[in-house]
Amino acid sequence: MNGEAILPYLIIIPLFGAFAMPIVSLAGKKAREAWAVIISALTLVVASAVFYHVWKTKEIIVYTLGAKTPFGQGVGFPIRIVWEVDLFGAIMVLTVAFVSLMAVLYSLGYMKHDTGLEKYYTLILILELGMLGIAITGDLFNFYVFLEIMSIASYALVAFRNDTWEGIEAGVKYMFVGSIAGSFILLGIALLYGQYGTLTMGYIAVKIAENPTVTAKVALALFIAGLLFKSGASPVHMWLADAHPAAPSSISAMLSGLVIKVGGIYAMARILFSIYSPMAHSIVLKAYLQPYINMSAIGWLIIIFASLTLIIGNAMAVIQTDMKRLLAYSSVGQIGYILLGLGIGLAAYGTQTGEVALAGAIYHTVNHAIMKALLFLVAGVVIHEVGTRNLNELSGLAKTMPKTTFAFLIGAAAIVGLPPLNGFASKWLIYESSAVFNPVLGAIAIIGTAFCTAAYVRVLYTFFGRPSERVANARDPETSMMLPMLLLVLAIVIMGLLPWQISDKVMIPTARMLEQFKFEYINALMSLAGGA
């Protein structure tokens, strides 16, 4: 199987699916729903093939748009857009495609009373497309375009239900601040382009290593600030607690499960490890006493934000009475763990501690996508059946909605980090590496988990409490809503039963590929030089 041959279909299929949706919708409701499911399922098939190819061969796929090589004729540097997929990109692609399919399946039942669904399914496919594009691109401006495609689809979907002010207000706020954060990222790209004259990530990495200027540092600051916002890190997380609960639950699952990971965490990791190569700066240039960017300080900077995020996010979750808002703050808290792993991966670069922390961060990114998608889908079912998100009115739900409560129980136990579920393994890697790196960070991580546990135990306590009148007529939902939840539960349990196999065979190799000890990302691109 040729990775380069299948990669474009990852974009072509959802793009075609999204723009054909209004036409297909003319054939009726069933056709529209079938189209959305077929397109998402086909995208998942392609995503699985891409992942399998990269995982099996351990080779980075490099695809040039419109030519065989990104290097122009007569010039020694890349001028064309390239897509470059390493294992981290491939994992994100697979996760995005899987959770998006679950969200589409769930929407069949959840959104059936809504109108304007051709727009809804178009936007959901565009959102998926934007995320897939971010995960595969190796070009900075192309990355920005996909980031904006994803963001604009998110703004529109948050405000999709415009019969209440909540969605509109949250959507407007999200769009306004999100646009400022996006413009910071664009400014960072413009600075790098102005300084180094190229937009290809692998080649910018070479140029920055040759001449790490103040402009490169300013650009890095703008990237980090913008992407901290996009990932929902404290103190720029407040939009998330408005936007994620206001969206329809299927969209909340994608926003909390995927958008903040791909548009925030993944993008940050890609920029930090592939453009500002720590191997070049922290090891090579430092050893030869050449000017370099202190990536260890950048790691500590991220650790500071991570610590703040995991305490504030999880603590705010404890005092929420709105179930979806609780889940949104919990997402902020979990982003804290991922950032902690990422920060330690950078600050302890070149050590086993750093590698394990990075593997933990990548692992938790995948795990949290699945767990949080499940929890938001459960919240959607509860709203659908009971008509409220107020926890004080949901007492005794376990008696009337046993299957839904069971799904929540699994999701909550996994997110708290209870063995033998999937959240345990990834959190364990992060705890272990943070405790080895700096015991204070280990303690902060544990305090965050104490808050996280309190928040979820409270919900469970409510669900298993004395049945209130409000929940008396609630029932478990129809199959189309139950099936995605069941599949996500299965994913959590199966991944939980194979924690170290997944860690050793997938996450550690992914972390190694991202760390670029042999400049793999740069070499994959530069190997195409001279082929024009």
**What track of x and - describes contact with other proteins for positions 285 through 324 (by CB under 8 A)?**
--------xx--xx--x----------x--xx-xx-x---
Which CB, 62 or 91, lies closer to other proteins? 91
| Count, residues in the chain | 532
Strands 61-64 vs 82-85: parallel, antiparallel or unpaired: antiparallel
Binding of other proteins by 512 (CB under 8 A): no
What is the spatial distance between Cα 105 and Cα 100, in angstroms, rounded to a whole number?
9
Q: Please pick, from the candidates 86, 242, 385, 515, the single residue that binds other proteins as defined by CB under 8 A.
A: 242
- Please report, for residues 112, 378, 409, 474, the alpha-carbon distance to residue 468 in angstroms, rounded to integers and kept in the order given: 27, 19, 19, 11
Which CB, 214 or 289, lies closer to other proteins? 214
Long-range CB contact pairs, 499-506, < 8 A, 24+: 499/420, 499/422, 499/424, 499/425, 499/428, 500/425, 502/363, 502/425, 503/359, 503/363, 503/425, 503/429, 506/55, 506/87, 506/91
CA angle 403, 388, 449 (to 5 degrees): 65
Binding of other proteins by 465 (CB under 8 A): yes
Q: Please pick, from the candidates 225, 375, 491, 513, the single residue that binds other proteins as defined by CB under 8 A.
A: 225
Structure tokens at 433: 């590496």
259 DSSP 8-state letter? I
CB of 353 to other proteins, least distance (A): 8
Which CB, 321 or 523, lies closer to other proteins? 321
Applying CB under 8 A, the span of 53-61, 101-109, 368-376, 453-461 interacting with other proteins comes to 453-461
Binding of other proteins by 485 (CB under 8 A): no
Q: Please pick, from the candidates 176, 211, 497, 518, the single residue that binds other proteins as defined by CB under 8 A.
A: 176
DSSP assignment string, 164-175: SHHHHHHHHHHH
Binding of other proteins by 271 (CB under 8 A): no
Instruction: Tell me the sheet residues that pair with 64.
Output: 82
Binding of other proteins by 466 (CB under 8 A): yes
Q: Please pick, from the candidates 51, 83, 239, 408, the single residue that binds other proteins as defined by CB under 8 A.
A: 239
Alpha-carbon dihedral sign for residues 408, 409, 412, 413: negative
Q: How many residues bind other proteins (CB under 8 A)?
A: 61
Helix, strand, coil percent content, the chain, rounded in steps of 5: 75, 5, 20
| Contact set with other proteins (CB under 8 A) | 172-173, 176-177, 180-181, 184, 214, 217-218, 220-222, 224-226, 228-229, 235-236, 238-239, 241-242, 293-294, 297-298, 301, 312, 315-316, 318-319, 321, 352-353, 356, 359, 391-393, 395, 419-420, 428-429, 432-433, 436, 454, 457-458, 461-462, 465-466, 468, 500, 503-504
